[in-house]
Amino acid sequence: MDRAQKEKVVEELGQIFESSGVVVVAHYAGLTVAEMQDLRARMRAAGGAVRVAKNRLAKIALEGKPCASIGNLLTGMTVLTFSEDPVAAAKVAEDFAKDNKKFEILGGAMGGAALDRAGVEAVSKMPSREELIASIVGCIGAPASNIAGAIGAPASNIASILSTIEDKAAA
């Protein structure tokens, strides 16, 4: 790899560290090509990506970034999983680690906050952006349907009272 290629890799990694909601660092020693492809496919489906890079280049890219504290995790055969959604990469990495013991999560970063192994696990248990939006929409929609039901209920009650009165008058 010549100097220009290294500079390009450092720039790409810098963009990843700046724009990602979460970055998870893991060891992947012993994974087969098929297992790595499975991880990449799962991450792509969740809206994230997987990147293997030289640790030295990743450390250079981390300089001056909010998540620079994860530089100490970059030792050995490391892989970076990342996503804009602050939860997606952590969820996929945790699920993959449960299925595959060779994939060992070391930690990560969420914005400027460094995460240890337990922190990544905690982030993975949080609801995703889509789940939060769905619950908010549900909360917003529920009062509207309750109001519509409450407004319609007196009218139906009055109608049933009037029909009862008519039935008694006719009898």
Return the pLDDT at 45: 92
- Give yes or no: residues 118 and 136 share one domain: no
pLDDT of residue 43: 93
What does the pLDDT read at residue 32?
92
Q: Do residues 11 and 90 share a domain?
A: yes
Range of the domain at 140: 127-170
Question: Do 50 and 60 belong to one domain?
Answer: yes
**What confidence score (pLDDT) does residue 39 get?**
93
The total number of structural domains in the chain stands at: 2
- Give pLDDT, residue 148: 61
- pLDDT of 114: 84
Distance in angstroms (rounded) separating the CA atoms of residues 114 and 65: 12
Do 94 and 151 have their domain in common? no
- Compute the average pLDDT of residues 136-157: 66
Q: Check whether residue 21 and residue 31 sit in a common domain.
A: yes
DSSP string, the chain: --HHHHHHHHHHHHHHHHH-SEEEEEE-TT--HHHHHHHHHHHHHTTEEEE---HHHHHHHHTTSTTGGGGGG--SSEEEEEESSTTHHHHHHHHHHHH-TT-EEEEEEETTEEE-HHHHHHHHTSPPHHHHHHHHHHHHHHHHHHHHHHHHHHHHHHHHHHHHHHHHHH-
pLDDT tens for each residue of 14-68 = 888 888 888 899 999 989 999 999 999 999 998 899 999 898 998 998 888 878 8
pLDDT for the residue 27: 92
> Domain check: are 99 and 139 in the same one?
no
> Tens digits of per-residue pLDDT, 66-83?
788 888 888 889 999 998
Looking at the fold, whether 91 and 159 belong to one and the same domain comes out as no
Over residues 96-127, the pLDDT tens digits come to 999 888 999 999 888 788 888 888 888 888 87
CA distance 112 to 158: 61
Q: If you average pLDDT over residues 9-18, what whole number do you get?
A: 88
Is there a single domain that holds both residue 108 and residue 139? Answer: no
Give yes or no: residues 53 and 67 share one domain: yes
Say what the pLDDT of residue 112 is.
Answer: 80
Do residues 68 and 7 both lie within one domain? yes
pLDDT of residue 93: 92
The domain spanning residue 68 has which CATH number? 3.30.70.1730
pLDDT of residue 79: 93
